[in-house]
């Protein structure tokens, strides 16, 4: 039970500091929906999703009214479609994307994730078909999100898949160029992808998950920023302690909402993801938290250390507040969705190389980064490989969500609108990595993978 003091503090966070529940995501297993006939499989998928998630949006709105807490998104994640569709006779998985899109529209959710494949150690035929279908599927759909896991600490990095995803990203950007390459905003390439992530575009319902579960993602950059500003010139240990206490309160609120939603929908409660996910709104920025710590601008020397402190304190506070912390959990740094990040790129304080360094100590990786439209496929693949290497060696989740902006050059902007914001086109290294990424094969798992 929450105390009266906690309730009053939460109300203040909501009213004055942009605190919200970023998403309630229902995970649904589709493992029983496979069928040799594609039409039958798609019908099973649609019927199961709409049956289980038909009340999700209504439940979210009811809880929001009951507690006075904004719930920004209601979403669905499903079993990776490469596993479900593999027994079907079709070569092209576009019909499955259509089935997911129709189910998302019928239930009223913002996004549905799980047009996904797990290929860290190699491909099955279903994986090959799904990956080949991604560009056309994301161009045809508006709410479907795709992800491909190309590496794990246990398996190493599948460089054949890395190079292929470079081609897939470029083709997706080409097919959705009229929408500013928006298809790429719904496509993530992972290393060490979690099975219970409620955040898009990388959410899918893992094979170790139950039949159905409710996962919640909370977000409170504005709350943490206000705490840092209020503390003034305290030492870093004191700062970390106060951020930890704040994350504790935010997580408690998230678990309350998650358990209430699970009870209302009569499904198990899964996890609360305690990530600090920024928005383009003023004061809701992770970059501005770092600047409040004493950095003149996010991206200057000291940024990685400040982000490490923030990420660690958030994780510690969240893990103290709940036994069911999962997903990604930490600080996100999506460029287009963070007003402070955008400003830092515009002013030359934040480069792609510095962003890569920051991903060593925060959640996920290079997120919502726009690059020139003529960036070579091999360069995109090399960027993915670098991020995968960071994840594999450090035993953490990393990812790349990159948008080649057709017709745009460095300094231009790509406009997405809504929570996706606007992305400044950022420079990539002009020297080639083509010969390296074309070697193919698998980069072996590191020595620290031998933990049995």
Segment 120-135 mean pLDDT: 96
Segment 192-218 mean pLDDT: 92
Segment 390-405 mean pLDDT: 94
Give residue-wise pLDDT tens across range 225-256. Answer: 888 998 888 999 999 999 998 888 888 888 88
Q: What is the pLDDT of residue 17?
A: 56
Segment 293-313 mean pLDDT: 95
State in Å, rounded, how far the first CA of the chain is from the last one: 40
Q: Which of 4-18, 217-231, 413-427 has the lowest mean pLDDT?
A: 4-18
Is the preceding omega at residue 171 within 30 degrees of 0, hence cis? no
**Per-residue pLDDT at 5 exceeds 80:** no
The per-residue b/e assignment along 327-343, b for 16 or more CB within 10 angstroms, e otherwise, is bbbbbbbbbbbbbbbbb
Residues 6+ apart with CB under 8 A from 368: 185, 334, 335, 336, 337, 401, 403, 420, 421, 423
- Which pLDDT band, with edges at 50, 70 and 90, does 262 fall under? very high
CB 116 within 8 A of CB 63: no
Q: What is the pLDDT of residue 67?
A: 80
Q: What is the pLDDT of residue 157?
A: 97
**Per-residue pLDDT at 213 exceeds 90:** yes
Q: Decide: helix, strand or coil at residue 413.
A: strand
Q: What is the pLDDT of residue 207?
A: 92
Q: What is the pLDDT of residue 166?
A: 97
Angstrom distance (rounded) from CA 111 to CA 97: 12
Q: What is the pLDDT of residue 15?
A: 55
Q: What is the pLDDT of residue 4?
A: 55
Angstrom distance (rounded) from CA 406 to CA 400: 18
Pairing of strands 269-273, 422-424: unpaired
**Per-residue pLDDT at 62 exceeds 60:** yes
Provide the CB-side half-sphere exposure for 260 (13 A, CA): 20
pTM here is: 0.92
Residue of 151, 147, 88 whose CA lies nearest to 119: 151
Q: Which of 6-15, 23-32, 443-452 has the lowest mean pLDDT?
A: 6-15
Place of tokens 């993801």: 273
- DSSP H or E run through 12: helix 4-16
Q: Phi and psi at residue 212, in whole multiples of 5°?
A: -155, 145
- Which pLDDT band, with edges at 50, 70 and 90, does 281 fall under? confident
**Per-residue pLDDT at 365 exceeds 60:** yes
Considering only residues 329 and 400, tell me which one the structure prediction assigns the higher pLDDT. 400
Q: DSSP for 49-116?
A: HHHHHTTHHHHHHHHHHHHT--EEEEEEEES-HHHHHTTSS-S--HHHHHHHHHHHHHHT-SEEEEEE
Pair of tokens at residue 395? 């035993």
Pairing of strands 212-219, 366-372: unpaired
Q: What is the pLDDT of residue 135?
A: 97
Percent of the chain topping pLDDT 90: 69
Give residue-wise pLDDT tens across range 142-175. Answer: 999 999 999 999 999 999 999 999 999 999 999 9
Residue of 198, 89, 87, 84 whose CA lies nearest to 145: 198
Angstrom distance (rounded) from CA 328 to CA 254: 15
Place of tokens 């890395």: 162
- Which pLDDT band, with edges at 50, 70 and 90, does 411 fall under? confident
- Which pLDDT band, with edges at 50, 70 and 90, does 8 fall under? low
Q: What is the pLDDT of residue 10?
A: 63
Q: What is the pLDDT of residue 16?
A: 54
Q: Of 289-303, 315-329, 414-428, where does the model show the most confidence? A: 289-303
The per-residue b/e assignment along 200-223, b for 16 or more CB within 10 angstroms, e otherwise, is bbbbbbbeebeebbbbbbbbbbbb
List the domains of the chain with CATH numbers.
26-191 (3.20.70.20), 216-445 (3.20.70.20)
Considering only residues 205 and 249, tell me which one the structure prediction assigns the higher pLDDT. 205
- Which pLDDT band, with edges at 50, 70 and 90, does 417 fall under? confident
Average pLDDT, the chain: 90
Segment 264-272 mean pLDDT: 93
**Per-residue pLDDT at 224 exceeds 70:** yes
Q: What is the pLDDT of residue 75?
A: 96
**Per-residue pLDDT at 110 exceeds 60:** yes
**Per-residue pLDDT at 267 exceeds 60:** yes
Segment 278-298 mean pLDDT: 87
Q: Which of 5-14, 33-42, 182-191, 420-429 has the lowest mean pLDDT?
A: 5-14
Q: Decide: helix, strand or coil at residue 253.
A: helix
């Amino acid at each position: 039970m929450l105390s009266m003091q906690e309730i009053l503090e939460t109300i203040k966070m909501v009213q004055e500091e942009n605190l919200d529940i970023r998403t309630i995501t229902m995970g649904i297993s589709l493992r029983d929906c496979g069928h040799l006939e594609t039409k039958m499989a798609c019908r099973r998928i649609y019927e199961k999703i709409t049956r289980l998630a038909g009340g999700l949006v209504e439940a979210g709105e009811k809880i929001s009214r009951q507690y006075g807490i904004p719930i920004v998104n209601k979403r669905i994640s499903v079993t990776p479609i490469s596993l479900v569709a593999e027994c079907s006779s079709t070569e092209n998985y576009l019909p499955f994307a259509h089935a997911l899109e129709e189910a998302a529209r019928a239930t009223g959710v913002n996004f549905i994730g799980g047009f996904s494949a797990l290929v860290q150690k190699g491909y099955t035929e279903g994986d090959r078909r799904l990956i080949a279908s991604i560009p056309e599927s994301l161009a045809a759909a508006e709410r479907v999100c795709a992800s491909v896991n190309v590496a794990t600490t246990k398996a190493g990095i599948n460089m054949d898949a890395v190079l292929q995803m470079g081609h897939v990203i470029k083709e997706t950007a080409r097919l959705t160029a009229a929408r500013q390459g928006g298809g790429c905003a719904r496509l993530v390439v992972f290393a060490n992808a979690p099975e219970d992530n409620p955040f898009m575009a990388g959410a899918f319902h893992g094979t170790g998950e139950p039949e159905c579960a409710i996962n919640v993602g909370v977000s409170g950059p504005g709350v943490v920023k206000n705490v840092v500003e209020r503390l003034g010139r305290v030492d870093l240990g004191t700062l970390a302690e106060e951020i930890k206490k704040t994350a504790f309160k935010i997580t408690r609120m998230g678990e309350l909402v998650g358990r209430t939603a699970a009870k209302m929908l009569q499904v198990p409660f899964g996890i609360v993801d305690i990530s600090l996910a920024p928005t383009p709104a003023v004061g809701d920025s992770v970059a501005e938290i770092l600047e409040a710590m004493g950095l003149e601008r996010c991206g200057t020397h000291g940024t990685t250390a400040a982000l490490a402190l923030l990420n660690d304190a958030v994780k510690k506070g969240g893990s103290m507040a709940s036994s069911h912390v999962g997903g990604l959990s930490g600080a996100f740094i999506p460029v287009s969705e963070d007003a402070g990040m955008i400003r830092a790129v515009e002013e030359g304080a934040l480069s792609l190389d510095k962003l890569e360094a920051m991903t060593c100590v925060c959640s996920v990786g290079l997120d919502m980064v726009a690059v020139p439209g003529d960036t070579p496929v091999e360069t995109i693949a090399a960027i993915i490989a670098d991020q995968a290497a960071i994840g594999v060696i450090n035993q953490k989740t990393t990812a790349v969500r990159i948008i080649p902006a057709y017709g745009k050059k460095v300094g231009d902007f790509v406009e997405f609108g809504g929570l996706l914001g606007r992305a400044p086109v950022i420079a990539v290294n002009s020297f080639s990595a083509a010969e390296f990424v074309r070697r193919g094969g698998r980069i072996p798992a590191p020595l620290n993978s031998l933990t049995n």
